[in-house]
Amino acid sequence: MDQYDVVIIGGGPGGYNGAIRAGQLGLKVACVEKRETLGGTCLNVGCIPSKALLHASELYDSARKDFAGLGIDVAPILNLPVMMKSKADSVGQLTKGIEFLFKKNKVDWIKGDGRLAGPGKVEVTDASGAVTVLEAKAIVIATGSRPAPLLGVTVDQDRIVDSTGVLVLSAVPESLIVIGAGVIGLELGSVWRRLGAKVTVVEYLDRITPGIDTETAKTLQRSLTRQGMTFKLGAKVTGATLTAKGVELSVEPVAGGPAETLTADRVLLAIGRQPVTDGLGLETVGLTTDQRGFIHTDHLRTAADGVWAIGDVTPGPMLAHKAEDEAVACIELIAGKAGHVNYDLIPGVIYTFPEVATVGKTEEELKAAGVAYKVGKFPFTANSRAKVNHEGDGFVKVLADAKTDRILGVHMIGPDVSEMIGEYCVAMEFSASSEDVARTCHPHPTRSEALRQAAMGVEGWTMQS
Amino acid sequence: MTDIMTPALGESVTEATVARWAKKAGDAVKRDELLVELETDKVSLEVVAPEDGVLTEIDAEEGATVVAGQRLGRVGVGTGVQSVVVAVAAAAAPALTPPAPTQAHQAAPPTAPGLPLAPSVQRIVTENQLDAATIIGGGKDGRITKGDALAAIEARSVAPAPTPAPAAAAAPPLVSPPPVVMATPPRPPHEREERVRMTRLRQTIARRLKEAQQTAAMLTTFNEVDMTAVMALRNQYKDAFEKRHGVKLGFMGLFVRACVAALKEVPSVNAEIDGQDLIYKNHYDLGVAVGTERGLVVPVVRNADALSLAGIESAIAALGKKARDGALSMEDLQGGTFTISNGGVYGSLMSTPILNAPQSGILGMHKIQDRPVAEKGQVVIRPMMYLALSYDHRVVDGQGAVTFLVKVKEAIEDPRRLLLEI
């Protein structure tokens, strides 16, 4: 039996970052992963391949629609196999990169399906069915999540696909219905809309992207609608039937009323994700999950001695960077250090065009909590860099405490805002006030000036709009 | 040309005063020769020449306040005369141009802490003539946030008011404790009064004591200890001990021993709070408060658990001498995990010591006094000492605190326990 300080089950952003950190701290660590490659959902069938397609499809869309206005006349032709190969190559290089990091940090990569087998034991079944048992002083559950199913809509990864299948469609569908107006649905719907599909998004709630600041969400919906995406909100999907031509979807209004049938070549089911905690042997250490399958923790410690849980299997936003932060904190706590995650400052991004990036509290949350706040807002139409790029969609909104001026939340929608939210994450981590950002020099001409102008707006001295 | 920089001044010390230059500009200096003496809140520091050469420039004159990393002067290579000429010219040049206060962060008010202030805080402090050093920061690592600075103005303006306005009470909870500011406006001294500027050491003591009181949930538990056994032990062996080890056998060494044993029994007393976590320390570095002419300092006996009794006594003696000579280094003062304070040397019978933040416990020793006590139904006279343990109730629960003090008492009343580790 192999003896380890730490055995991590799952090689996604939580698992692999935890393994690397453990290696750095001199712990003997193994990472159990059932996929053939490391990186988990994020790297193999999630964040990374979707961003590859988002980037490529955005350039294609730009070339078709925007280039002429900039004085470039082209007639772009889509080569989907090359686009898919480019995506696969990038994913391959990145997963190989983690293998390298494992070697560098002396992490043992155990290939196979890992499950708990009593206190301090992890049982791994490899592809051939052979079972090995690892002994560990600490076990970290980082098995992540999978797409949530919907009754009446069976995913066959052909006509009806989930977030994995939608990344490898062999041809651009003529029409695509996306069930769920969350981050995944809007991003992947955008990909295929740009490549030529007619995309309809059906959402149960009466708004898109629940949890996102309402004003920001509405702006995003307007932008996506203008680009040709159709939204059907407050609509409940009750069933799907495969036909010779594609899929027939039964949809009825949540508020009541006559049902209707929508038809499309393909359907993307993207109503959310659920934790992967079944078949993990939790019962062998006396652990249970809540009704939805989540493992609850106290500072990442589960109720079972020596068993920890991080990432999507724990409650909270299902985001790679949340898992990564928890992984570092968890391993540091295991090593007797002061690991800590600031759950108030986990940024969220939607990689549509325009992008959405947020951190901290929304206006709705502040109102509900009875916190008096001030708002500073700056539109990208007034930003010189966005202007010359013909990318005036969106705004930056800064929410700050009415009394102390401390920044409480930042919500942006616009081109490349995903790369700009980090500035506010750092500022807020250091309890900065809006004035601190307003009095910090920003380079001109950049979109980042909008961050500063919005901060100025909190105390009413925005200068450029 | 080599810059002579202000060295790192240590934790919680942000600035120093240039006390004395041992060399004049133009003097030839040898490597490791004393150039300048600095005084901080806690200690005197000596800055020596990094190489042979000539002291070409002095940037910070005697009496100037400097922060860590600031240039004090420069040493150039080569023979004296030529360098001096250059130095004089260089020194004269700045005087011709008016100072440009907006150019650097260092242009902050002289009382600003070593960390540059956030832009909003800088503005508020400057516009409202606040002393940034008196504002307690609620931000990361104790940084002052804009909210802290605004609250400092408010605290100053409403200071005379007995209660806060209801509106303020209804406001959302502040993330940081209300700042402390020197609220009293200057007033002319009465004819039979004397206004004296507090020394840096006194200011630091004042600030740190108040911080400890503000932060910790501090309370004190008492016990008393019969010193008969340790006094007998000392009387019997003091000469042999001194002869063998070259250091006197005092009570302090035994108390350090007893405290280490008690800390191992009750680890929370040796812990500290960090954010939402507790840090338990498996090292026992005990601060021993020493009175000096300039004020109280608390040098630290490192790894007291690994030292013999003679080792502890030697360490205390060496630190005490350094303290009285004003020769303590920053290293001598930093990183204690627990503190022992002996008010008994001044005759104190009972006291409630204040924590040495971020530590969670401090033992107060007191005067040994013959008192009648009941023993087996008889009144007997015993040399008694009251013991006090002030502790941070956020970290240490009542049972732990009482247990700690009982362990110390038992070890002192029967020092054989220390030998047997029971």
Write down the ipTM of this complex.
Answer: 0.70
C-alpha separations of B133 from A105, A259, B60, B121, B126 in Å: 44, 69, 21, 12, 13
Which pLDDT band holds residue B78 (cuts at 50, 70, 90)?
low
Contact A8, A18 (CB under 8 A): yes
Pairwise CB contact (< 8 Å): A403 & B171: yes
> Strands, DSSP E only, in A265-384?
266-269, 273-275, 307-309, 348-350, 355-360, 373-379
Question: How much is the mean pLDDT over chain A?
Answer: 96
Question: Is a pLDDT exceeding 80 seen at residue A450?
Answer: yes
3-class DSSP state of B58: strand
Question: Is a pLDDT exceeding 90 seen at residue A445?
Answer: yes
For the record, the structure tokens of B171 come out as: 């406001």
The pLDDT, as a whole number, for residue B164 is 38
Pairwise CB contact (< 8 Å): A431 & B140: yes
Average pLDDT over residues B406-417: 95
- Name which residue leads in pLDDT, A424 or B320: A424
Pairwise CB contact (< 8 Å): B145 & A372: no
Instruction: Specify the amino acid at residue B117.
Output: L
Which pLDDT band holds residue B142 (cuts at 50, 70, 90)?
confident
Q: How far is CA A450 from the centre of its chain?
A: 25
Which pLDDT band holds residue B357 (cuts at 50, 70, 90)?
confident
Average pLDDT over residues A292-321: 96
Cα distance between residue A50 and residue A91, in whole Å: 10
pLDDT, tens digit (0-9, with 9 covering 90-100), for A94-124: 999 999 999 999 999 999 999 999 999 999 9
For the record, the structure tokens of A377 come out as: 């807002």
Closest CB to A406 among B123, B145, B277: B145
Which pLDDT band holds residue B19 (cuts at 50, 70, 90)?
confident
Q: Is A435 on the interface with B (CB under 8 A)?
A: yes
Contact B343, B364 (CB under 8 A): yes
Q: How far is A423 from chain B (nearest CA, A)?
A: 15
Of all residues in chain B, the one with the smallest CA distance to A437 is: B119
Average pLDDT over residues A306-319: 97
Which residues in chain A are contacts of B276 at CB distance < 8 A? Answer: 299, 340
Which pLDDT band holds residue B11 (cuts at 50, 70, 90)?
low
Q: Which of A279-293, A350-364, B125-139 has the lowest mean pLDDT?
A: B125-139
The pLDDT, as a whole number, for residue B205 is 77
pLDDT, tens digit (0-9, with 9 covering 90-100), for A147-170: 999 999 999 999 999 999 999 999
Active-site residue flag, A296:
no
The pLDDT, as a whole number, for residue B193 is 82
Pairwise CB contact (< 8 Å): A403 & B279: no
Question: Is a pLDDT exceeding 70 seen at residue A426?
Answer: yes
Pairwise CB contact (< 8 Å): B146 & A371: no
> Strands, DSSP E only, in A369-428?
373-379, 395-401, 407-414
Average pLDDT over residues B136-153: 87
Pairwise CB contact (< 8 Å): A401 & B120: no
Q: How far is A339 from chain B (nearest CA, A)?
A: 9
Q: Best residue in A334, A361, A404 to probe B by mutation, most B CBs within 10 Å?
A: A404
Pairwise CB contact (< 8 Å): A436 & B146: yes
Contact B313, B245 (CB under 8 A): yes
Question: Is a pLDDT exceeding 90 seen at residue A230?
Answer: yes
CATH architecture, range A160-271: 3-Layer(bba) Sandwich (3.50)
Q: Residues of CATH 3.50.50.60 domain(s) within chain A?
A: 2-146+274-344, 160-271
A383 CB-near residues (< 8 Å, 6+ apart): A392, A445, A447, A449, A450, A453, A464
The pLDDT, as a whole number, for residue A210 is 93
Residues of B with catalytic roles? 393, 397
Closest CB to A431 among B123, B145, B151: B145
Which pLDDT band holds residue B13 (cuts at 50, 70, 90)?
low
pLDDT, tens digit (0-9, with 9 covering 90-100), for B304-324: 999 999 999 999 999 988 888
> Strands, DSSP E only, in A26-104?
29-33
Question: Is a pLDDT exceeding 90 seen at residue A1?
Answer: no
Q: Number of Cβ pairs closer than 8 Å across A and B?
A: 67
Q: Which residues of A307-343 are buried (b: 16+ CB within 10 A; e: fewer)?
A: bbbbbbbbeeebbbbbbbbbbbbbbbbbbeeebbbee
3-class DSSP state of A127: coil
pLDDT, tens digit (0-9, with 9 covering 90-100), for A338-348: 888 999 999 99
CATH architecture, range A354-457: 2-Layer Sandwich (3.30)
Pairwise CB contact (< 8 Å): B140 & A406: no
Angle A337-B208-B169 (CA atoms, 0-180°, nearest 5)? 90
Closest CB to B146 among A369, A370, A405: A405
The pLDDT, as a whole number, for residue B12 is 58
Average pLDDT over residues A374-379: 97
Which residues in chain A are contacts of B146 at CB distance < 8 A? Answer: 404-406, 432-433, 435-436
Pairwise CB contact (< 8 Å): A404 & B123: no
Question: Is a pLDDT exceeding 90 seen at residue B227?
Answer: yes
Q: Which of A451-455, B18-22, B120-124 has the lowest mean pLDDT?
A: B18-22
The pLDDT, as a whole number, for residue B101 is 36
Which residues in chain B are contacts of A440 at CB distance < 8 A? Answer: 119
Q: Which of A428-442, B109-123, B311-325, B359-373 has the lowest mean pLDDT?
A: B109-123
Q: Best residue in B121, B146, B175 to probe A by mutation, most A CBs within 10 Å?
A: B146
Q: Is B277 on the interface with A (CB under 8 A)?
A: yes
pLDDT, tens digit (0-9, with 9 covering 90-100), for B152-209: 888 876 654 343 333 333 344 334 444 444 444 566 667 788 877 777 777 777 888 8
CATH architecture, range A2-146+274-344: 3-Layer(bba) Sandwich (3.50)
Closest CB to A404 among B119, B150, B277: B150
- Name which residue leads in pLDDT, B270 or B84: B270
Pairwise CB contact (< 8 Å): A431 & B138: yes
Closest CB to B146 among A299, A369, A435: A435
Considering A375-379, B49-53, B172-176, B193-197, the range whose residues carry the highest mean pLDDT is A375-379
Q: Is A129 on the interface with B (CB under 8 A)?
A: no
CB atoms within 10 A of CB A103: 11
Average pLDDT over residues A131-159: 97
